[in-house]
Chain A
Amino acid sequence: MNWTELILELLLMPLVAFFVGLAMVLMMRKVAARLQRRVGPPLLQPLYDIIKLYGKKTQVSHGVMHDIGIIMAVGGYIAAETLLPVPGMDGIADKGGIITLAYFLMIPALGLALGVGQCANPNGSIGISRALTSMLAYDIPFIIVVFGVAFHFGTTNLADIVRIQQEGGIGGWGIVEMPLMALAGLFAMQAMLAKEPFEVYIAPPEIATGPMVEMGGKYMGGLFVMQAFQFYTMGVLYTTLFLGGGENWLSFLVKIFLVILIPVTVTVIYPRYKTDDLVRLVWKWPTAIGLVGLIFVMH
């Protein structure tokens, strides 16, 4: 591969992710609206929101770390996108692999935590405490899934994982070969996206949306962008691990939107768990399912 092509890929991959992610945000709001018998926002509403947030007059910074936190949250995802292969573009999937990606996904969380920390708002700190706790919860089934998939396909290279599944046809997909893993992964994804019933750290009624409490203007805008990336990343990662990745852009987009449709639907119909209930639930069901799945994978 020549350098210009690679650099182009590295630029293009986050850009695609951004726009697809925005569409997913739109989908979430549409789904919620439909289930609540509303019309929902127009097509470009997510974009308008971002522009509005960036254009606001009041942009309160609580210090350098507050700014850097947002940069890390967004930048971490931008970097992570280059590790996720999409049809036609592998980026640097062979330089990092799934373990690196799993760790990359913790960087935005840590950046956000640091940024919120500097805001010195107790509600924000409580939110972070809950957010990190739920990370401790969901990363365990997630890492079981990561291990199981990597072991099953015998590689940590995501591009190879996609290739192996596609060579096997639908019967070779992760979800067919490792249904329990796929189920556990679905659970973990719900918690990773911090969607109901696992959104205790945002908790609007109690701690005034937790980490977001001091975020206004483009700080909020940054988080909005981050959310778009997060949706995209989760969708693509799940598709890559279990649904054979993208044969072409059409099937790829269908798959990732279908994947994301599950959490956004669940979100609307579920209430919220307490922190310790969340941990207990996530450590019990998806972890158990994942471990059982692992037994099948290993034998």
Chain B
Amino acid sequence: MNNVILMFALPLLAAFLIQTLWRALGPLSRFVGPLTLLATGIIGLRAWPVVTEQPAAIAIGNFAPPLGITFYVDRLALLFALIVAFGMLALWPWGKVEDRPRTDSILLILAAAATGMALSGDLFNLYVFYELVAVATYGLIVSGGRAPAYAATFRYLIISAFGAALALIGIALVYTLTGTLNLAHLAEVAPDLLNNPMGLAAFGLFLIGFGVKAELFPVNTWVPEVYPSVPQRVAGLLAGVVSKLALIVIVRVMLLVFPFEGAHLLMLALGIAGVVFGELSAWRARDLSRTLGFSSIGQLGVMFIAFSVPGEAGLLAGLAVALHHTAVKPALFLLAERWGGSLARLKGAAGDSPLAAGLFVLLALSLIGIPPLPGFWAKLLTLVALFDQAHPLYLIGAGVILVGAVFETAYLFRIATGLYGTADAGQPGRETHDWADLLTAGALGAALLAGVVLLAPLGQQLTGIAAQTADRGLYVQTVHPTLPTFVIGQTP
């Protein structure tokens, strides 16, 4: 079981070694990064059956919690660690970025930090990994060497730093209130010590702080600037993988430490705002990458809404939406790599690149939630979960999601019909897609279709994950086997 730590350690090690290796192995060393990710992925896959039965807590350096650094490995954590490994592998910028070894090293650090975020069982470690992710992404954004990227990074930097500061205040507040930062420990004491306005404030700070990466409203204003100015693989990585990790951390913390109605509603409200602002802006955006950026704000909003539903139903719905988005968004960004600039340029593009246009339509359909594609099932689960809630804000959330889908249809199919239209006279030509981009996007599209076929087993897996995650008692039991469960057995 302990080799799960390697999922975190291996990329970190490789990141430090790669500069040296580059000198020793030369061009061959460009395979070091992907191979490392592959190795971590395989380790993760082998751990899957074990974790399915029983989650595990790993105390690093054998310091028992709450003192030492704890990794908590359940299906949810492992799933997202796997997403990091395979997602980054799929989106690995082969020959896309200048300054190879340095970029590879940044990517590996990102992988390590992101894995750490997924596995960490300690609030402070979470914060550390989060900062590491932030630093890695700054480097990644400017790695494309495009001039607007520097300006965008600067804005991103400011907002991130601001977010980190807020998160830190939040964590400090939690520590002041409880005297611990271990999640399992917090889960035990939360109902007594954090179910108050102070606790809610701490959650708010934490939410906004981590929300920067998760494109949470209102700290998402970096998104529309950053995505169009970076290589689209990186944009896909940020929107598809990194944002989900930040999100899942927030969800885990909310579930264990702040399982209170106020916290849920706060997240719900911000999610609603995200959908409203994201979809409205996307409707108006006039280039593909920016459209996708805005729409990803909206999509993340949907996830926040879904996860804000307490209990298993919300987890299941949120997970389904998140996984679906992880597959679809990067693929769309990859298509946008050669379809940048004004949308008007894309008229008649289906003639040059029929495969890309077909993929775009498929991905767009799933994103909107058209049955029987996976996006539909995710949306249905979300709505069913939302309609079961008594608080009227949940209904507003459902309404916003539904109207948002109409907007998505309008802007995505305005583009799609343009692709299949006839080009205007004198319209500038387009480059055709890079085969690697197309292949990756195609693989993700195929994964979507496979999702349709394997819907039933996938559904069972997701339900299992949701059930395991929702079990707060199991978490505490796993980390502190000595404690009686009845203390923390039920959510207030």
Contact between A and B in the complex (any CB pair below 8 Å): no
Interface residues of A (CB under 8 A from B): none
